Structure 1
Amino acid sequence: MEVFGSSGTRGVANEELTPAFVLRVAKAAGTAWGVDRVAIARDTRATGRMLADAAASGLASTGTDVDRLGIVPTPGAQFYAEREGVPVIVVTASHNPPRYNGIKLVGADGVELAVTDLEKIEDVLLAESFGVAPWDETGCVRTVEGLRRDYIDALLAAVDRERIADAELTVALDPGHSAGSLTSPDFFRELGCRVVTVNGQPDGHFPGRDPEPVPDNLVDLGRLVRATDADVGIAHDGDADRAIFFDETGEYVSGDATLAALAAAELEAGDTAVSAVNVSQRLVDVASEVDATLELTPIGSTNIITRIEELEADGRRVPIAGEGNGGIFFPSYRLSRDGAFTAARFLELVAERPVSEIVAPYDGYANVRRNVDYESTAERDAMLDAAANHAHAADAELNTRDGYRLDYGDAWVLARPSGTEPLVRIYAEARDEDRATELARELFETLTDAKDDV
């Protein structure tokens, strides 16, 4: 696909992702969907209202009525889509820096569109074969009130409130100025938790930290955990479909360790878990220990969702899926990543024992991640060619399902182009941190040398 990547389409707002472009995407979606009504939601980004206005205009021009949902977490928009049976355009760039924005398309079942459905919309977009309604049949726009409250109520009904409330937990929360800042504080309080926050006000300039919940951006959350003697720290990304945790000592918990711990609580013999090619050995070990199957896909929620649907159609039980970035699916709840729901399921475990004990079995691996940016297609292609040559020359098992993953037995390293930013991402994991660092360094130098030669 030329336009839609692994998680929609994104770019620097008003430069790459302009109102004119969003207008065309909305016209294409309205034309391809051919439905009477579509909803629009957004995150807190400063350019969100501008781009949501453009999307509303594009939909109305095709004769489609528009439900304006306002600022709501992406999983809240998906809840609305499923409840109302209408597709949703979500204006969000998720974890990308503040200057970015993006478009994510959700079907009337509340699930992100599959690749085949995105391709249909992309075909209309590229051909500019938009449907145009007569002036007296253009769509009407209405504002939907109360969705955030309804979304919180749905979350409360889906988790073990009594178990969490009885534990009298203190939660340190960093919603990162995101859409989650308008829902997660109330949700955790209504679960019976004492909630303290940092970066808790919605602000599209993200003054406290960048939207991506990685350790360097979450220093203040660790401090808050320690200062308030909290039982757990929880952080969201820009559209609150992810959750990252800190333990009771204020130490960052790897998302891979969290996924493994939640999977250990969910998986039974004969089950299937789904993850991406950058999966940690932690999850591999959990699946093996309980005699469950682990299926790997290319990176990106769209690919994971597609595989879950295929497996469930084949009669397989998939109780958990996701990636180590905090984006986790519990398909029996809803086929969407939901940071608040993931956090609540983790709180069910924390109600029984401290976070440090929960993740202790999964602490034995070191992860290193590096990025190499590029400014042109030629630079990207040169780096990918270099990665291919490096991979084929290595004494390791090669997986090319998404990029180049080299398994050495005691460690692995992966290079793949980002689906949302002009980056080639490098991931490495080993039980020894020096080993992981060295594998990542070798590949990083190979790629940068290739880029410099362009």
Structure 2
Amino acid sequence: MKVFGSSGTRGVANEELTPAFVLNVAKAAGSFWGAERVAVARDTRVTGRMLVNAAASGLQSVGSDVERLGVTPTPAAQAYTDDEGIPCVVVTASHNPPEYNGVKLVGPDGVELAVDELERIENAFLAENFEPVSWDAVGDDHDVDGANRRYVEELLEKVDRERIADADLTVALDPGHGAGAHTSPDFFRELGCDVVTVNAQPDGHFPGRDPEPVEENLGDLGRLVEAADADVGVAHDGDADRAIFFDEHGDYVEGDATLAALAAAELEEGDTTVSAVNVSQRLVDVCDEVGADLELTPIGSTRIMTRIRELQAEGENVPVAGEGNGGVIFPHHRLNRDGAYIAAKFLELLAERSASEVVDPYSDYYNVRVNVEYESEAEREELLSVVEEKARESDADLTTIDGYRLDYGDAWVLARPSGTEPVVRVYAEATDETRARDLADEFGEALRAARAE
């Protein structure tokens, strides 16, 4: 059994991710930490309170006092834990559909636990190797007010407020009914922007759109940008650790183009950046242009942050990193993904150019993603064997850091199992849209045929 995937552990709430499961994860994490105080936080999902209660009980049973932050963006919870020097259990499924929930573990430095730490907690969980305390030593718990406000005030000090305010921007914002609805509207207004919103009511049923900020879910935001004559549109996922953008015309901006634009503004010769194996050629081009190194990892924020920490320990300068899904990391700010901070850094680029001009140098590639679902571990293994067979038969350059990536020179395709959902994902990129779609469809059709058999 694998407990922690590419970004915590997730599953359908009350089926795969039960209170008993979360209770034991919290017991294992609490035993590993041995901390006097541990924070718990959640996003807006309807099962969040139930699972936070389970996490709190597990932590108290191993002797930790629990500080309940309530509905809080993951980066706000990370800021609180870093400031207080205590670990945190965040109950969130991030971008997954409403029926999902999950658990993300954050260390006392405000950073998601590294892979080796997660493995130790996972082993304790599987062996039920917990350290319960006696009845008179169990932990207490209490609510903490103001974590969200504290986070906003800290962000305001970390970005160029004057530059953004002088740009006189109108921001169309879609928090997607998630935790960012509690923080991002105020943050952008206090940066001096006019703010119009859609899906800005916290609601764990996510009635306006699914939590994942992908183009097919964001039609309302594109229309709002046009109707409000906004300079930019900003969308978050369920826990607001990602930001996706629309330009001033109401057109969707590929996350890989955003990552490349932000990287170009931060990277200098001799720097290093880190991304996942599904990295776009856009970022490769930026690194080649400025003379920076690019390191690749398996997909997932945990893997990327673990590698950043290793590089920093070796003395490397890593000013920016991340993935093209809106999860950009600015390690000099904090070693985490922070949707509001990402958006503010993008707003800084709009002081002199429009959003479309900022991303135009990185708009010559087309991306396609196909998901093929499976229902059992046996079916998953069969699908992966089909992927491997097709990959080995190809004459393209093959990379197997995470799944199977084929580089053709003018295009690439990657097939890998998701770390958070029962799907095999196929990614493709090319300078020609038809070429990208054909590559993705070739793998997708082979996988669907195998599943049908």
Name the TM-score class by shorter chain.
over 0.9
Counterparts of residues 138-153 of structure 1 (less than 5 Å):
138-153=138-153
Question: Per-residue deviation at 1:59?
Answer: 0.7
Q: Which residue of 2 aligns with 1:135?
A: 135
Provide the C-alpha distance between the structure 1 equivalents of 2:344 and 2:198, rounded to a whole number of angstroms. 19
What amino acid is the match of 1:80?
Y
Which residues in structure 2 correspond to 1:114-129 (within 5 Å)?
Answer: 114-129=114-129
What do residues 9-65 of structure 1 show as CA deviations (whole Å, max 9, x unaligned)?
000011111111111111111111111111000000000001001110111111111
Residue 314 of structure 2 is aligned to residue 314 of structure 1: yes
Does 2:235 match 1:238?
Answer: no
Report the aligned-residue RMSD: 0.7
Q: Please give the residue correspondences for 1:288-303 in structure 2 after superposition, counting only pairs within 5 Å.
A: 288-303=288-303
Distance across 2 between alignment mates of 1:250 and 1:277: 30
1: CA distance, partners of 2:113 / 2:92: 15
> What residue is the counterpart of 2:79 in the other structure?
79
Aligned to 1:247: 247
Counterparts of 2:212 and 2:37, CA distance in 1: 32
- Match of 2:123, SS? helix
Within-5 A mapping of 1:58-207: 58-207=58-207
Q: Distance in 1 between matches of 2:352 and 2:142?
A: 45
The residue type paired with residue 236 of structure 2 is H
How far, CA to CA, are the matches of 2:361 and 2:353 in structure 1?
14
Q: CA deviation at 1:323?
A: 0.3
CA distance in 2: counterparts of 1:288 and 1:185, whole angstroms: 37
Offset, 1:434: 0.7
Taking structure 1 as the reference length, what is the TM-score of the superposition?
0.99
Q: Deviations over 1:138-171 (max 9, x none)?
A: 1000111111110001100000000000111000
Q: Does residue 356 of structure 1 match 2:386?
A: no
- Residue 51 of structure 2 corresponds to 51
Q: Unaligned stretches of 5+ in structure 1? A: none
Distance of 2:314 and 2:23 partners within structure 1:
39
Q: Which residue of 1 aligns with 2:11?
A: 11
Amino acid in structure 2 at the alignment position of 1:341:
Y
| Aligned-partner Cα distance in 2 for 1:88–1:444 | 39
Alpha-carbon distance in structure 2 between the residues aligned to 1:320 and 1:335: 10
Q: Which amino acid aligns with 2:17?
A: L
Q: Secondary structure at the match of 1:334?
A: coil
Runs of 4+ in structure 1 deviating by more than 3 angstroms, as ranges, are none
Q: Secondary structure at the match of 2:295?
A: strand
Distance 1:166 1:397 in 2: 48
Give how far 1:450 is off.
2.0
Distance in 2, Cα, partners of 1:167 & 1:448: 49
Q: Return the alpha-carbon distance in structure 1 between the equivalents of residues 306 and 145 of structure 2.
A: 32
Q: Cα distance, 1:448 vs. partner? A: 1.6
The equivalent of 2:23 in structure 1 is 23
Taking the aligned partners of 1:92 and 1:363, their CA distance within structure 2 comes to 32
SS in 2 for 1:336: coil
Deviation by residue 1:344-369 (Cα, 9 ceiling, x = unmatched): 00000012110000011111011110
Q: How does 1:335-350 map to 2 (within 5 A)?
A: 335-350=335-350
Residues 65-93 of structure 1: CA deviation (Å, up to 9, x unaligned): 10001011000010011100100000000
Does 2:236 align with 1:264? no
Task: Find the aligned partners of 1:129 and 1:282 in 2 and give their Cα distance.
Answer: 46
Q: Give the AA of the match of 1:419.
A: G
Note the C-alpha offset of 1:452.
2.3
Paired AA for residue 73 in structure 1: P
Q: Which residue of 2 aligns with 1:434?
A: 434
Q: How big is the shift at 1:122?
A: 1.0
TM-score by length of structure 2 reads 0.99
1:325-384 C-alpha deviation (Å, 9 max, x unpaired):
000100000000000000000000012110000011111011110000000111111111
Alpha-carbon distance in 1 for matches of 2:5, 2:177: 25
> Equivalent residue of 1:279, what SS?
coil
- Structure 1 CA distance for aligned equivalents of residues 23 and 32 of structure 2: 14
